[in-house]
Amino acid sequence: MISVAEVRLWGITIGAVQWDAQRQLGFFEYAKPFLRSGIQLSPLHMPLGAGVFSFPALNKESYKGLPGMLADSLPDKFGNLLIDQWLVSQNREPGSFNPVERLLYMGIRGMGALEYLPETPRTRIPDQQLEMTKLVDLANRALAQKDSLAAKFGYSANDSMADTQALQQIISVGTSAGGARAKAVIAWNEATHEVRSGQLDCPEGFEHYLLKFDGVQGNRDKELNDPQGFTRIEYAYSQMAKAAGIDMMPCQLLEENGRAHFLTKRFDRIGGKDKLHMQTLCGVAHFDFNMAGAYSYEQAFRVMRQMGLQDLHLALEQQFRRMVFNVMARNQDDHTKNIAFLMNKRGEWRLSPAYDVTYSYNPSGEWTSSHQMSVNGKRDGFVLDDLLACGAMADVSERRVRAIVGEVAEVLKTWSQYADDAGIEASWATKIGASFRKI
Q: How many CB atoms lie within 10 A of CB 428?
A: 16
What does pTM read for this prediction? 0.91
Q: What is the DSSP string of 189-250?
A: ETTTTEEEE-SSPPPTT-EEEEEEPSS-TT--SSSSPPPTTHHHHHHHHHHHHHHTT--B--
Q: How many CA atoms lie within 13 A of 222 on its CB side?
A: 18
pLDDT at residue 148, rounded to an integer:
46
The pLDDT of residue 366 is 86
What are the C-alpha distances in Å from 87 to residues 2, 106, 112, 153, 310? Answer: 14, 14, 25, 9, 43
- In 3D, which of 44, 51, 107 has the Cα closest to residue 279? 44
Q: What is the pLDDT of residue 156?
A: 45
The string of DSSP letters for 23-87 reads TTEEEEEE-HHHHTT---SSTTTS-SSSSEE--TTS-HHHHTTS-HHHHTTS--HHHHHHHHHHH
The mean pLDDT values, 10 residues at a time, for the chain of 439 residues are: 94 98 98 96 97 98 97 87 78 88 91 92 61 72 55 46 56 61 82 78 87 73 65 98 98 90 94 91 98 98 98 99 99 98 98 98 92 98 98 98 99 98 96 97
Structure confidence at residue 152 (pLDDT): 46
CB atoms within 10 A of CB 414: 11
| Cα gap 171→237, rounded to integer Å | 29
